[in-house]
Structures are given as structure tokens and as C-alpha cells.
Structure 1
Amino acid sequence: MLTLTKRPYGGETDLEAIANLLEACEAVDRLEQWTTVAELEQDFNAPSFDKQRDLQLWEDDTGELIGFATLWHSPGGELTDGYLGFRVHPDARGGTLEREIINWGEERLRELAKEQGVNSVKLRCNSRDNQIDRIAILQQNGFTADRYFLTMQRSLEEPLAEPQFPPGFTVRSVIAEQDAEAWVEMHNQSFIDHWNHHDLTVEEFKHHCSDPDYKPEFDLIAIAPDGTFASYCYCPIFPEDNKRSGRQEGWVGILGTRRGFRRLGLGKAMLLSGMQKLLAAGMKIAKIGVDYDNPNGARQLYESVGFRKLHTWVWYSKDV
């Protein structure tokens, strides 16, 4: 029987072992979710993440890291849910470790709920729709599917239409320090009516902008004639991922238009502007993630400019 030892994060000395575990998982799962020590460190330093309480490691009797889990939760507003992210070494799957990880996630979320005086919360987890074993484990442990997301892609070697903006609107790149509060307010107003929205904080936005891969020239905002930040599109490029895949890909990482400025063509214009930025940077493929049931027709917008489904991700939840 496998002997498991659970322990909290030990600091930077654990980063390489976590990266190696994720590498072993990626070799089997082929999700194209590569990571580096630097990326892990950036993630763990997020303002809302408690490295000592929201991250757990599992080792076997030789001291090898075979399990890794994080519990992410919103820092602002009433606690409603938490997201459990976990990976298990391929050689250690199918036993008791997955159940132990889910138990830890439930206990940590209950602890947070008690601290905040909340009676009902949901634990969430996701899976690619072809990860049959992972889905079976989630279902066996009380999770049910409640939302579907698509990863879509489009060739940038095909012609791109020119963006058409309403009269009086201007477009420029974000200036992080100067624009932080207005950008965050625009983001929260743009996504307030979306599934499972949690308000972003200015502190989180500034942390995002501190990422070494963040390039402000790919972070565009459309400004209304009265100076209001009305729409935005951020298109990141991940050089390490492209090196691993051998492809030149960029992402439409986030696209939104605040209420009061919708149905003016801003979303399409910003999407095309972002894709032009990726093309100018030498990218040949653009990818995007979208909620299948997005209430504002995002999937139909992406399809209208040539994006097509690549993968489906399923979000699962259970009451805790």
C-alpha cells in the first residue's frame, strides 16, 4: 500500500519539484498546460492566495512529490465558492490520493466559510471532456457538471477584417499604474452579469501586470468620447509554451464591453484589433476560451470572425 505524507508548501525549494510533477502529468495528459518555476512563483504570489493554507503537497514514502493541490477563492465580497486545482502523478492515480486531495479542498473551503460566517459554499473543479478517469473521480466524489467552456482557435494566416469603431471612440494600450482603478471598474462592470463572476481588485490587477510575460502593448482599451473606459481586449503571448509546442500562438486572453456600450460593435472591433496585434508579432494562430452559454453572444461573435471549436472543458461543482 502506498504511504502518503501530506504537508504544506515549504517555499521556493518546492517550486522545482512541483514543476517536475506537472511536467510528468503533461507528458500523459497532453493538455498543453506547461509551466515553469517562474510562472509557479508568480501564481503563488497572487495577493489573494495564502501559500501556507491554500496549497498542499503529497509525497510518497521515498519523499517524491506525487500530488499537488491549490484552493483559489475570491478575496472580495461574500464567499460563495472555491476552485480546487489538482494534479496527481500518472503512476499514483486511481488509488486513495485523489479522494484525500478532494477531502483537503472541502475542509479548507469549510474553514474559510466558517471564518467568514457563510453557511453554504460550492467547491468547483474542472476537466477536459476527454479525461474520462478524472471525470469519473469527480463524479464518484459528489461533483456534478454545471457549465461548459470551449477553447476555440483561428488561423491568423487567413485574411482579417479591419476593425470598425463607433465615431468618437479612441483605442490605446493600458498604462498600468495610471489606468488601474478605471480598468478594474470597467472589467467588473463588463463581467458582472456573467456566470460565477467575482470582482477583481486593483491589487490583483497590478499583480497581473507584474508578470514577466505581460506586455502592455497587447492590452488595449477603447475609450468613449466622454472618457469612459468602454471596452477592452488583452492578447497575451506565452513564449515558453510556443517553444514547447513548436507553434506560434497567441491568446485572446480577455475581451469585454461594459454595460451601456454594448451592441455598438465595440466587442468585434476590439477582438479584431487584438488579433492584428498578434499577427504583427508573428503569431500564426489565435486561441480563445469562451463560456458556451455566455449571455451576451460571445461564442457567436467569435464564430463570426472565423474561430472554431478545438476543445471542451467541463466545470463541476458540489455543495460543501
Structure 2
Amino acid sequence: MQVAKERIVLRACAPERDLPAILGVWVACREGGGVDRASVVEPYPTPREVEAAMAAMADPRRDQVLAEHEGSVVGHATVGWWREGDAAGGTAVYLHRGRVVPHWWGRGVGTALVRWAEERIAALVAAHGTAARACFAANASDAEPGAVELLTGLGYRRVFGVTEFEWTGPASGRTPPPAALPGGAELRPVTADHYRPVWEMVRAAYADTPHVGGWDFGAFAAGAEPAHWQVAWEGGEVVGAALCVAGREGGPAEVRELSVRKDRRRRGLGRALLLHGLHALTERGERGVRLFTGSANPYRSWELYESVGFRRLAEFGRYRKAFGPAAPA
């Protein structure tokens, strides 16, 4: 495919050969794109993470594309998919993600990448037999007005959002040891045997939440970093968890998940777990902690985060469009 106005050519990716060029697009966006480098919602990947993401693709040569101008790569896009809800009748979500070198913003490259993605998704939907339940999906931060304008101009609508928060700790640099957990719950050191009951509790906590799906136990266990997890038990049952992880390579620490079992909510357990997690992280020397939550969270969890000193940083929109044949480029 060629964008005649700027002589941009879209071509298939050769993963081994093109990895440096893809990394170059990410670096250009990180350095000149005005995007928060420390974000935990839309983090900039390391070279190893980019390589691993390509290796995990179902078809690395067909599920991503490069935009070139006179032999130089100026954009990169990928597609992926998952199922929300039950496997038989849930929505088949086809997400496309793209990055364009800032110098090329507003020159048709982003539009061409979206058009390519929709055509590729149409082929995948036909192969998967999911046309009746499929939708296109894309993400854009409110700090990227050009991306928002592009998506809405192509018929996408914002269906929900994610808010990122940051906590930088008390002025003293240390948090006091938190009180015991309420209701007789207790903290226990986390072992690998605890991963499944923690996963099951968190998964059940989101059972009635829309736009959540595809949370696989194998992936959860493989990515577990339990050194600073705070897991609340009552007898032999997990009733709450704050999954806190230390920062890497100079980045912020993160509260990756804060969940309380439905029948234990509104008792102060979530707040206590969060405070225990923040204390553990600051004792390790962390001075910045981030987390994110749904902007329309029915439990108004942002009020809890703000009450312990988190401040809002940014909003990230999640956009969708009903599936239909891709418009001609």
C-alpha cells in the first residue's frame, strides 16, 4: 500500500531484520512525542519487551506493518485480539496500535496505518468467524489530541477511559507503619502456591465489570512479582490483595492491582492493604508509585487513592467501532 501524497509505503515486517527500525520509532516518539515516559498505562517498552511481543504474535509477519519513506521507517502498527465475556458469546475485540515518528504527524501516515489495521482485522474476523460479535478497538491518551481526532474522524467512539495516578510519598520520605487489617484479616508471606487463589479472587472481583476479559492464569503466574504483594487472608480464603511491585530501570513502582472480595468491601480493607503496600515500597527506597483505574469505576476507587495522597496525571481513552468492511484506503 502506498500513500501517494508523501510517498509513504506500507510493507510487511521481517521481525529479525526490522527490530532496530521498530525500536527507532519508539525512541523517536519517546524523545519527541510529548508523552509521559514513566506511564504505567501506556509504557514505552524495552528492546527485550518489543522483541518478546513480536515473538508472541500469532503471525509476526502479517499482524504488524511498517510505514517507510525513502527507505526510512517512520511508523509501525500491530493488531491483536481477545474475547470479552464468555468464550461462546462474548465480544471479539480486535485492537490495533500504532506509532508514528513525530516529524510525520498530521501527514496521513496514521490514517494509512489505521486503514491497514482495519483491512487486516477484516481478514482475521473472516478466518475466526466472529463477524457477528467483533469490534475494532484503539487507544489514545487525552494528551494526544491528534490521535483522538484521527480515531473519532474514522468513526470510533470512546467507550470507557483509564485514569493514571501518582503518589510521591510524605514530606518526611517515610510512611508510618500501618495498622492491623480490619475484620480479623491477616497478611501472610506470598508463595507460588498462593498465585491461583489470589488470581481467582481478583478475577471474581471483576466478574460484573464490562470491557474486562482475557486475563489468563498462566500469564498472571508467569509475570508475578510477589516480593511486595499484600495479600489478606481470612482462614483459608483470600479476601483482598494489593499487588505492589518495585520500579525498574529508574521507573516508578506500581500498584498493579487493588481488589477486595465483594462481601468484604466498604470495611476499610482496601485502604489498609494499599497503605501496607505503600509502606513496603517506601521502606525499599521507592519515591514514586503509580496506579490506574477505570475513569467510570462504579466503586469510585479514585476517592480512596486521592485520600491517601495520589494525584491524577492523565486520562487514556479506549475507543471502539462496530465491525464492518474496511473502507478503501
Q: Quickly name the TM-score band, shorter chain normalised.
A: 0.7 to 0.9
Q: What does the per-residue CA deviation read over 1:179-212, in whole Å, with 9 as the maximum and x for residues that have no partner? A: 3433332221122222301041122223424xxx
Pairing partner for 1:5 from 4, 9, 32: 9
The answer on 1:134 being equivalent to 2:147 is yes
1:301 Cα deviation after fit = 1.2
> In 2, distance between residues paired with 1:42 and 1:163?
41
> In 2, distance between residues paired with 1:257 and 1:104?
42
The answer on 1:97 being equivalent to 2:105 is no
Q: CA RMSD in A?
A: 2.5
Pairing partner for 1:282 from 275, 280, 285: 285
The answer on 1:187 being equivalent to 2:227 is no
Pairing partner for 2:135 from 95, 106, 122: 122
Pairing partner for 1:80 from 86, 92, 99: 92
Partner residue, 1:239: 248
> In 1, distance between residues paired with 2:234 and 2:203?
17
Pairing partner for 2:262 from 259, 263, 272: 259
> In 1, distance between residues paired with 2:306 and 2:157?
28
Matched residue type, 2:246: I
1:128 Cα deviation after fit = 2.0
CA gap of 1:55–1:218, structure 2 versus 1, over 3 A, is farther
**Secondary structure at the counterpart of residue 218 of structure 2:** helix
Matched residue type, 2:69: D
CA gap of 1:50–1:193, structure 2 versus 1, over 3 A, is farther
TM alignment of 1:59-74, pairs within 5 A: 59-62=68-71, 64-74=72-82
The answer on 1:157 being equivalent to 2:165 is no
CA gap of 1:22–1:309, structure 2 versus 1, over 3 A, is same
CA gap of 1:269–1:26, structure 2 versus 1, over 3 A, is same
Pairing partner for 2:186 from 162, 170, 195: 170
In structure 1, the gaps of 5 or more residues are 210-214, 243-248
Are the aligned partners of 2:227 and 2:245 in contact in 1 as well (CA < 8 Å)? no
1:129 Cα deviation after fit = 1.2
The answer on 1:309 being equivalent to 2:321 is no
In structure 2, the gaps of 5 or more residues are 38-42, 324-329
TM-score (norm 1): 0.85
Are the aligned partners of 2:15 and 2:54 in contact in 1 as well (CA < 8 Å)? no
CA gap of 1:218–1:72, structure 2 versus 1, over 3 A, is farther
CA gap of 1:307–1:113, structure 2 versus 1, over 3 A, is same
TM-score (norm 2): 0.82
Which has the higher mean CA deviation after the structures are superposed, 290-299 or 227-236? 227-236
Identity of aligned residues (%): 25
Higher-Rg structure is 2
**Secondary structure at the counterpart of residue 192 of structure 1:** coil
> In 2, distance between residues paired with 1:241 and 1:190?
32
> In 2, distance between residues paired with 1:12 and 1:37?
12
Are the aligned partners of 2:169 and 2:309 in contact in 1 as well (CA < 8 Å)? no
Which has the higher mean CA deviation after the structures are superposed, 164-173 or 273-282? 164-173
CA gap of 1:262–1:35, structure 2 versus 1, over 3 A, is same
